[in-house]
Amino acid sequence: MSKKEALRELQSRLADRLQVARDQASAANWLAVEAGGRGFLLPLAEAGEIFTGRVSCLPVPHTAPWMLGVANLRGHLHSVVDLAAFLGIKTGAPAREANCLVAFNPTLETNCALLVDRLAGLRGREQLQPRTGDDAPRPAFVAGSWTDEQGRVWHELALGALSRHEAFLGVAA
């Protein structure tokens, strides 16, 4: 096989892999996470980097209990918010060390990361059904509720709306 043919074959394989990656990315709409025993969907376009492992947070005095503090994530200071505590679904005091953080996408211009209990993978619209009959009032940052094939409820959080929400911005205790 000549070098020219090998190069064409390599380009063809790369093009096929890129197309598969594009198809998979368009099929996944959300990052599914768990916090406080509940399921949440974070739009992939608004979610940033995921940090797993032990991350220490430096507490900030006179802040709300759900504000864990600040952490150095890849050389940038991020405020760290315990998602379950912020939503009022966590019992007990928030931990000062985080094991799973999901940062906001830099396009949101908010250096913030959410502490979640665990990552639950990627979810697409084809895996979920819109939840009907739920007319309970909800904050503006909850974009909707969905149900999966097992009957589990997932709440979609609009991170952009959350980053501008009055309660989220009111970190002073």
Write the secondary structure of 63-122 as one string of H (helix), E (strand) and C (coil): ECCCEEEEEEECCEEEEEEEHHHHHCCCCCCCCCEEEEEEEECHHHCCCEEEECCEEEEE
Q: How far apart are CA 24 and CA 18, in angstroms?
A: 10
> Would 61 be classed as within a structural domain?
yes
> Would 135 be classed as within a structural domain?
yes
CATH code at position 117:
2.40.50.180
pLDDT of the residue at 2: 74
Reported pTM:
0.80
Only one residue has tokens 């940038």, namely: 76
pLDDT of the residue at 136: 73
pLDDT of the residue at 6: 73
> Would 54 be classed as within a structural domain?
yes
Q: How many domains in the chain?
A: 1
pLDDT of the residue at 60: 94
pLDDT of the residue at 21: 55
Q: How far apart are CA 42 and CA 27, in angstroms?
A: 15
> Would 3 be classed as within a structural domain?
no
Domain enclosing residue 152, as ranges:
29-169
Closest CA to 70 of 92, 98, 49, 48: 98
166: which 2 tokens?
């009055």
With a cut of 50, which residues of the chain have pLDDT below it? Answer: none
Q: How far apart are CA 100 and CA 159, in angstroms?
A: 17
